[in-house]
Amino acid sequence: MFVGARDGIRRWLISLFASAIKRATRQEDRVIAIRWLGESRDVVASDAGAIEKFKRLNALINSRTTIRAIGGSVAEAVSNYRQSSLPLSMKIALPATLAAIPLVGGQAAGIAAFGGALGVPVLLLIFLGVSGITAIIEAVVTSPEARTHIADVIDVIVDDERLRRTSARMKAAMKQQPADPVRFSMPPQEAALRQYLLEMDPFNFERHIMSFFHRAGLEAWATRKSNDFGVDGFAIHADGLLIIECKRNSGQNKVGRPIIQQFKGVAEEQNALRGYVVTTSSFTDEAIQSASLTEKIVLVAMDDLVLWHAQPPTF
């Protein structure tokens, strides 16, 4: 089977799970589904044998009516794959792909091995693995209608394998009064935009800054409560944790070297992928020099921030 077809099938299955969860009418049901995925990911990542994994996953999927309904929806879509919009090459490859899901002692079994529709999504989760289940979670939680219970979503996010080297204290800080990113309406003229940013409520400014990370496709949020690390927002990149510090300063109040040094220490200690210091002013020469000594720190001054509004950044 071609690698391209297998990757395409994987993306299709991820979209099936995500779509089934997004169709849940109650926000509480979506939270239940996200928690189920987090628990399922832990099972798949465990050292348990294949049969034991199947039993645990099967117990999880049977634990709630909501989860059984989502599983049934995915199973029905898979069973009707011939009527789907999948390319022909993927339709041809799909049966062999699913039949080759490893189970016991190097043997392979097809979808019908355990009988019943709920055996289908369980085997699919085994096929997708940790990274695939994570992709389902991300596909759901970046959807605005799924984010009302952001604290519950973050409970799952902070247990992500990519944050395994993040301290327990930092993970606790990540969950302290989280708030969704909000892109506030900004004046189109540059001078008015600069003035608006300078006059924003500090917390609204933080949520506005985090909206750039969210719109770039990352799971991102601000924290209302101050924490020992001086971090105002978090974003989950494919390669690890991004931490963000926001300084809504007056134009004359430059960010100095002590703040950058402290933030560098946090980024290093928490094994963050990168740390962003975003300000409505600028940085002292000493601060710029300090940041230049590591690839982990990105400085975003007012001029850069204005450019972000015209040309959305990538991270």
Q: For residues 103 and 27, state if they share a domain.
A: yes
Please give the model's pTM, rounded to 2 decimal places: 0.62
The mean per-residue pLDDT over the stretch 201-205 comes to: 91
Residue 24 lies in a domain: yes
Tokens of residue 274, six digits: 């990168």
Q: For residues 197 and 140, state if they share a domain.
A: no
Reported as a pLDDT band with limits 50, 70 and 90, residue 109 is very low
Residue 162 lies in a domain: no
Q: For residues 101 and 32, state if they share a domain.
A: yes
Q: For residues 15 and 118, state if they share a domain.
A: yes
Which of 92, 123, 157 is a domain's end point? 157
Parent domain of 296: 167-310
- Least trusted range by pLDDT, from 37-41, 82-86, 152-156, 303-307: 152-156
pLDDT in tens, 52-94: 888 888 888 888 888 989 988 888 888 887 888 888 877 887 7
Residue 315 lies in a domain: no
CATH number at residue 237: 3.40.1350.10
Q: Which residues contact 285 (CB under 8 A, 6 or more apart)?
A: none
CA 40/CA 34 separation, integer angstroms: 10
CA 15/CA 280 separation, integer angstroms: 39
Which of 157, 179, 202 is a domain's end point? 157
Which of 157, 183, 201 is a domain's end point? 157
pLDDT in tens, 242-275: 999 999 999 999 999 999 999 999 999 999 999 9
The domain total for the chain is 2
Question: Residue 134: phi, psi to the nearest 5?
Answer: -60, -40
Q: For residues 82 and 45, state if they share a domain.
A: yes
